[in-house]
Structure 1
Amino acid sequence: MKLFRAWAQLALLSILAMMSCAGDDLRQLGTATVQQPFDQETPPEQPEAFTLPATPIVAGANAGYLPGSGHVTPDGAYTYRLPIDVRRAHP
């Protein structure tokens, strides 16, 4: 009975593996063209350089400045201090 169960699991695993590969279109795999033959001595061609657009796609906002400072304490904790000016409340 254990041998039959092992064969059944192997058959099921094989069927699942074949089904997972069935979505690949093998006809498309043969249409790719090789730009440069593979050679271990010659490095591959470099891709075209990326050029940034002259104007940004989204203009940056004018941001303010917060006069904070941070440091790592002797025990390894990072501390950041941010001074905040708070007006006194009127009674």
Structure 2
Amino acid sequence: MTRHVEPPIGRLIRRHRLRRAMTQTALADALAAASGNRSVSRDQVSRWESGGRVPGPYWRGWLGAVLDLPRQELDRAAAEARAARLLTIAGVPTGRSY
């Protein structure tokens, strides 16, 4: 049985979104309003939280602004998520439980 593992960046985004009592749609709307970029959607937020995608530098900047998170914290969590993904793709057990 495979257990779903939430990546560090996804956990961080979800935790701070929920602290603000925001839905994924509300976060996407807030990101679009703050950035002026309507390309972000609830589906994108969901992919970030589930680990399907890691937000790039552009969206990490706006996530930091909207969720009041330090950019360095988001960058560090994104780097951890990418490293874990590479290890998983390579078949290396990480021994981490996110």
How does the TM-score come out when normalised to structure 1? 0.18
More helix by share: 2
Task: Please say which structure displays the higher CA radius of gyration.
Answer: 1
More strand by share: 1
Higher relative contact order (CA 8 A, sep 6+): 2
